C-alpha cells in the first residue's frame, strides 16, 4: 500500500509540469495537500525538492500543449484531491479509503490529450 502512495506522489510531481499559470499553482498546492494527507494517514512520503522557478517556467510553457478539456480534467483532479478526507487514526480501513479516494482523483486525469500527457512526462 505504501508503494502505491509513493507512486501516486511521484505522478503528482510529474503532473505539475502539465499546465501553467494558476493551474500550475493549483497543482503544486494539491500535490502538497495530497502529500500532507498521505503522511497523516501513515504513508511514508519521499523527500521532494521544492518547486523551483525553472519548474514553474517549464510548467507555464507546457500549458500551451493542454486543451481546455485537459485543463477541465486537471481542475477536477485538483478539486478531488482537496476533498479527500484526512485520516484521524491511521487504521487500515482509513488507509484503504484514502488510497481509493486518491486513485479516484487520478482517474479524473484519464483521457488527457496526447500532447498534454507528453508535456507532463517531460
| CA pair distance 107, 110, nearest whole angstrom | 5
What is the domain range of residue 38?
2-121
| Polymer length of the chain | 122
**Average of pLDDT values for 100-117?**
90
Please, what is the end-to-end C-alpha distance for the chain in angstroms?
A: 27
Helix (H, G, I), strand (E, B) or coil at 85: coil
Give pLDDT, residue 118: 65
Q: How many domains does the chain have?
A: 1
| CA pair distance 43, 37, nearest whole angstrom | 9
| 22-52 tens-digit pLDDT | 678 888 888 889 999 999 999 988 876 677 8
Name which of 28, 29, 38 is nearest 8 in CA terms.
Answer: 38
What is the pTM for the complete model shown?
A: 0.75
| CA pair distance 15, 121, nearest whole angstrom | 8
Alpha helices for 20-113 (secondary structure H):
22-40, 53-62, 68-83, 92-107
| 56-92 tens-digit pLDDT | 788 878 877 889 999 899 899 999 999 999 998 889 9
Amino acid at each position: 500500500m505504501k508503494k502505491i502512495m509513493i507512486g501516486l506522489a511521484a505522478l503528482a510531481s510529474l503532473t505539475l509540469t502539465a499546465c501553467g499559470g494558476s493551474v500550475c499553482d493549483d497543482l503544486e498546492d494539491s500535490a502538497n495537500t495530497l502529500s500532507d494527507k498521505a503522511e497523516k494517514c501513515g504513508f511514508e512520503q519521499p523527500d521532494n525538492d521544492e518547486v523551483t522557478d525553472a519548474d514553474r517556467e517549464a510548467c507555464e510553457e507546457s500549458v500551451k500543449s493542454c486543451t481546455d478539456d485537459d485543463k477541465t480534467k486537471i481542475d477536477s483532479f485538483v478539486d478531488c484531491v482537496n476533498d479527500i478526507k484526512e485520516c484521524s487514526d491511521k487504521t487500515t480501513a482509513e488507509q484503504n479509503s484514502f488510497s481509493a479516494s486518491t486513485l479516484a482523483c487520478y482517474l479524473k486525469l484519464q483521457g488527457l490529450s496526447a500532447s498534454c500527457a507528453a508535456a507532463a512526462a517531460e
